Amino acid sequence: MPSVDKKLPKLGESTIAEVVAALTAEEKVSLLIGTGMDFPGLPPKLQAPVVGSTQKGRVPGAAGSTCAVPRLGIPSIVMADGPAGVRISPTRKDSAESFFCTAFPIATLLASSWDIELVKNVGRAMGHEAKEYGVDILLAPALNIHRIPLGGRNFEYYSEDPLVSGKIAAAMTNGVQSQGVGTSVKHLVANNHEWNRNVINVKVDQRALREIYLKGFEIVIKESNPWTVMTSYNKVNGVYTSESYELLSTILREQWGFSGFVVTDWLAGRDPVAQLKAGNDLLMPGSIYQQEVLLEAIKSGELDESICDRDIENILGIILKCQAFQGYQYSNRPDLIANAEICRSSASQGMVLLRNSDKALPVKENTRFGLFGTASYAMITGGTGSGDVNKAYTVSLATGLRAAGFTCSDALESCYQEFIATEKSRNPVSTDAFMPRVALPEYIISEEQLFDTTLQTDVAVITIGRHSGEFVDRQAVGGFYLTDEEKNLIRKVSTAYRKQSKKVLVILNIGGAVETASWCDQVDAILIAWQPGQEAGHAVADILRGKVNPSGKLATTFASRLEDYPSFGNFPGVTLVARNEEEKSAAVGDKAAEIEYNDGIAVGYRAINAEHKTESATVFFPFGFGLSYTVFNYSNLQLSNNEFESDLTVSVDITNTGDVAGREIVQLYLSAPSHDRVKPVAELKGFNKTGLLKPQQSQTLSFTIGLADLSSFDPVQSLWVVEKGCYVIKIGASSMDIRLEANFNKVAASQLSV
């Protein structure tokens, strides 16, 4: 705790109001903006503000910090990214030690586990690392909707569905915050792709906004009480989210009961005064421009000091909970060994088995592998940008399989390693985590070498890798679609191995959906390993050898073609010619941009499933889909009532009828009557995962359906409405594999206030 003058109020001893009353205008402004960012090439007005007192640099490489006001006992707090682990510098000028953090699996993998306890545990582990490195607030979780598979930051986000996003984000928040470290739930709202993200105006109707884009945030606020919320860069319906009173004060605080502070995304928005007035309490990372504008606005009366006081009270309420205030003596020695284990086990729980013909997996003991694809030797642990993590190591697939007792062709590995080294020296990997990474090209294997490898090995594994990250969206080819090189590799390897009656497996080392329809028949098994964090190779090996029975399921549809996604027609949006100087300066260059979400609520499976039939599951993998090494039987669907009163309980028995132990994710979809408004054919309203069931073992899973689950948002009345009539509960192994159904009736229509 900083030493303070006894006569003055002190944070923690006096009331927050008394502390705020003792602040000068300069101090107030210093608390409302961060201490600045060291980023090469920042224009002068975005340079760090001039501050009297700060502990800037306490945690090198952290994204930002706030100003201290020692005379009133207000410490500086530190914020660090991000969703896949703590991002700080691994080295420090003044120390010979290292400060690595665990690169955990990406958010999309965690969501594919559909496992609340598992995600909470990963959150605890991240919170522990943040705490021991002196970080007060982790800038995570991120839960924007996967509206389009090309979204550059989809890897940081959970799902195309708001319920999965909200529940998993709440689990992450609860886990991190259990360690006394805050979270920043981001990016509120509609930052669904990167193209022109700083200026784009997202035009979205109120129903879609509430039911799809805001719903996950509403769940996480109500179920986990995050300390902070981060607004997004973009505008929604003409207003920057960080300048939207309706979003921040009306919806977030009044309607949802949020009680922490709201922080901008880094350098987001245009008008600091409008941001503070709207209820965006803290402007990060803080700049000299903001400092000057705010001081001037206070002086001129344009910014009422009571607005500043309100925002500072929100900030101080959270600072009181931070370890910087509590005086926690962090060790700089988190338990990285224990966290590597959590990384490995959570990674294998979120991997998704898409195909497994003739029980290609698990493989036999002593299998000799031929590993193809550059990513087999250079697995991609996560995405780039602020979601990147400075980790100590990456376990490659080759290392993971060898550690599990298998052999991998050394001759093939030597060729790949040589090729990778040459490629890396030709195109050095940027040391700047924020820069997009260029994928390694594929090594073109000769017929002869392929033939030899086929003879010397039993099974081929082809790893297809994908980079993505902040600032850019993925390309169609090389992003969603495989490149010709990759397709040729699969075709050649498949032909050679199948000639010898040997199996071919594909590992998808990806951060977002890829096309599988055109090539999946050429291979025997497909495992989505996602970007699984630093223990990548071990986690994949655990599944290939059957130590872990895969139990992940897709939280995002893998369609056959980009055109199948309803958002495709209006992505990424259009650029507009600026009409005046203000628009010019607000835009990148002189272009503003706009996108119309005219797919409304028809996002992901809500629309795609209606277009496809179950039989097409071999060429497209629906939301909720994932195979296991065992099979499960669904029986005894029970509803607590046939008539809906307040809550309804649903239960179902799940039995493992196969011959190995496994876990099953069970999904509850609801088909609602649609007399007054169009409803999707079915919407996910609950999910649950069994424990590890032995063969013949059963477990009863329960779900609760509340009135809110029956409702739709009515933009005219601005409230949630529930139609009367017959509702159908559908219990499924995926959104297109419904196993049991039951009806209930809602006698009268009703309404729910927001």
Residues that bind ligand BGC (CB under 6 A): 63, 81-82, 139, 186, 265-266, 386, 470
Tell the smallest beta-carbon distance from residue 139 to ligand BGC (Å). 4
Classify residue 195 by its DSSP letter: T
CB nearer ligand BGC, residue 86 or residue 554: 86
Report angle CA 61, 63, 69 to the nearest 5 degrees: 105
* DSSP conformation letters of 537-590: HHHHHHHHTTSS------SS-B-SSGGGSTTGGG-S-EEEE-SSHHHHHHSBTT
CB nearer ligand BGC, residue 186 or residue 685: 186
Report angle CA 368, 371, 372 to the nearest 5 degrees: 150
Q: Of 81, 265, 388, 524, which is the active-site residue?
A: 265
The number of CA neighbours under 13 Å toward the Cβ of 352 is 31
The number of CA neighbours under 13 Å toward the Cβ of 135 is 34
CB nearer ligand BGC, residue 266 or residue 744: 266
Tell the smallest beta-carbon distance from residue 47 to ligand BGC (Å). 17
CB contact at 8 A, 687 and 666: yes
Task: Determine the Cα–Cα distance for residues 748 and 453; give it in Å rounded to an integer.
Answer: 69
Task: Determine the Cα–Cα distance for residues 647 and 423; give it in Å rounded to an integer.
Answer: 60
* DSSP conformation letters of 27-50: HHHHHHBB-----TT--GGGSPPP
* DSSP conformation letters of 132-190: HTT-SEEE--B-----STT-TTGGGS--SSHHHHHHHHHHHHHHHHTTT-EEEEEEETT
CB nearer ligand BGC, residue 263 or residue 293: 263
582 burial level (CB within 10 Å; 0-12, 13-18, 19+): exposed
CA trace torsion 601, 604, 608, 610 (10° rounding): -50
Catalytic annotation present for 265: yes
CB nearer ligand BGC, residue 197 or residue 344: 197
Cα dihedral sign for 506, 407, 401, 691? Answer: positive
DSSP bridge partners of 269: none
Token pair of 454, please? Answer: 């086929």
Tell the smallest beta-carbon distance from residue 472 to ligand BGC (Å). 13
CB nearer ligand BGC, residue 139 or residue 378: 139
Tell the smallest beta-carbon distance from residue 133 to ligand BGC (Å). 16
CB nearer ligand BGC, residue 470 or residue 709: 470
Tell the smallest beta-carbon distance from residue 164 to ligand BGC (Å). 20
Classify residue 257 by its DSSP letter: -
Task: Determine the Cα–Cα distance for residues 32 and 485; give it in Å rounded to an integer.
Answer: 52
Tell the smallest beta-carbon distance from residue 81 to ligand BGC (Å). 5
Q: Where are the beta strands (DSSP E) in 578-718?
A: 591-596, 632-639, 648-656, 665-671, 683-689, 698-705, 712-714
329 burial level (CB within 10 Å; 0-12, 13-18, 19+): exposed
Tell the smallest beta-carbon distance from residue 386 to ligand BGC (Å). 4
Token pair of 89, please? Answer: 């510098």
CB nearer ligand BGC, residue 82 or residue 680: 82
Q: Catalytic site residues? A: 265
